[in-house]
Amino acid sequence: MAASVIGRRVEELTTPAFVVDYDKVETNCNMMLQTCTTMGVKLRAQTKTHKTIEGAELQTGGTKRGLVTSTLDESEFYADHGFDDILYGYPLIPFHMPRVTVLTKRLEKFHVMVDSRLAVQTLLETPPPSSKTWSVFLKVDCGNGRAGVWWEDEEDIDLALSLCSDPTRITFQGVYVHCGNTYHADDPKDVDALRDENIERLLKFVEKAKKRGVICPTVGIGSTPSCRRPADTMKKLNELHPGNYAFLDVQQSTLGSCSLEDIACCVATRIIGHYPRRNQMLIDCGFTGLTKQGEGKMPSGYCVIRDHPNLKLCSMTQEIGFVETVEGKLDYAKYPVGSLLFLLPWHSCATAAMYPVYNIIQNDRIIAVWKPTRGW
């Protein structure tokens, strides 16, 4: 069924449909590769935004090496398709070990991420597959307030020391920071300050660890807001791991990561009815086609409606969206029933996750269909 849309125009798609502009996603991926080359750091691309083979090929510049995933399912999916040097970038717990063991066996380089004594103890007590060691990153929290050991805590250096205590079991790869607190910045200047604070704190942690005899071979940070605003401070690191940059979204535009024109994805939706008595029209995209991630964030409601700054998606039910004007009367002649609108999502990772296929377009024609992996 999917192959039948190739060569068709976007207007022929059944809606709502997730549409990706190939030229934009390619440009976004190449720009990040170029940033990393300029900074002299390795790019370990996060795949959680798109979860597709084609997207990861663009992110790795065709090498298929150097990914970070957010689920074991993604790690297995990429392993099945010839990718290697994959970090399962999620706090490890003992329950993960059977699948982690298989991936460690299959891949040349499969890494896990830990932030607890329990995880380190589990790895020290579990024999790795023959001729392999567990390859491990320590996750450090430099202000994000999610997973990770706290950068200032002396006991956390003890955890790093434990990771180096038995090289026949564990190869310590270094430290990993997801500076996701950049998403809470008030403005782009604040993003820059948080980026630099994360780097400074991480380097202090690395220095303290070094004094206790722990060498961190890899020192990396990454979120799209920080990496789309690269600075010389990043040259002190050797790895970046952003992910959302492949698609970008309205949230990124508010943080100074991009302009609305750079956003590579959107939801195509059809107008399904006019309701002049309440100055509204309905579209066939409800919260299952967009999510409610942008609630309360934008004057234009739950998304930005491309090329129509006076339209607002004011509410949604499961399969229906309610569109009105930001100001004034709706000119229904401009919006015939059956015609398309294109919704730029607030959070593309969440919106992409609503769709079993992505329609890839170039010059308004569908040139490919990408199938993301789903599951955990």
Residue 18 or 245 with smaller CB distance to ligand PLP: 245
46 lies in the site for ligand PLP, by CB under 6 A: yes
Task: For residue 234, give the nearest of 281, 202, 205, 279 by alpha carbon.
Answer: 202
CB of 247 to ligand PLP, least distance (A): 10
By CB under 6 A, residue 89 contacts ligand PLP? yes
Among 59, 218, 244, 359, binds ligand PLP (CB under 6 A): 244
List the one residue from 64, 111, 178, 229 that touches ligand PLP (CB under 6 A). 178
114's CB contacts (< 8 A; 6+ apart) are 91, 92, 120, 123, 136, 137, 138, 139, 159, 163
Cβ pair 59, 32 in contact under 8 A: yes
The Cα–Cα gap between 146 and 303 comes to 26
Task: Report the DSSP pairing between strands 45-46 and 265-275.
Answer: unpaired
Choose, by CB under 6 A, the member of 61, 128, 174, 243 that binds ligand PLP.
Answer: 243
The reply to whether 222 sits near ligand PLP by the rule CB under 6 A is yes
> Cβ 133 to ligand PLP, closest distance in Å?
22
The helices-and-strands tally (H runs, E runs) of the chain is 11, 19
Candidate segments 1-9, 222-230, 272-280, 362-370, binder of ligand PLP by CB under 6 A: 222-230
| Binding span for ligand PLP by CB under 6 A among 4-12, 196-204, 209-217, 241-249 | 241-249
Q: Which is nearer to ligand PLP, 160 or 185 (CB)?
A: 185
Site string for ligand PLP, 132-171 (x = CB under 6 A): ----------------------------------------
Return the number of the residue (250 or 283) whose C-beta is nearest ligand PLP. 250
Residue ranges of alpha helices (H) inside 248-327 are 250-254, 287-290
> What's the min distance (Å) between Cβ of 241 and ligand PLP?
5
At residue 131, the 3 state secondary structure works out as coil
- Bridge-based pairing of strands 134-141 and 149-150 is parallel
In angstroms, the Cα distances linking 274 to 16, 270, 329 are 18, 12, 12
- For position 242 contacting ligand PLP by CB under 6 A, the verdict is yes
Q: Tell whether residue 241 is a contact of ligand PLP (CB under 6 A).
A: yes
Q: From the CB of 147, what's the least distance to ligand PLP, in Å?
A: 7
**373 binding ligand PLP? (CB under 6 A):** no
CA proximity to 53, closest of 348, 369, 355: 369
Least distance from C-beta 140 to ligand PLP, angstroms? 11
User: Which of 28, 60, 69, 224 touches ligand PLP (CB under 6 A)?
Assistant: 224
Q: How many residues bind ligand PLP (CB under 6 A)?
A: 14
Identify the DSSP state of 257: S
Q: Where are the beta strands (DSSP E) in 178-330?
A: 218-221, 239-240, 265-275, 280-283, 303-305, 311-316, 321-325
Which parts of this chain interact with ligand PLP (CB under 6 A)?
46, 68, 70, 89, 178, 180, 222-224, 241-245
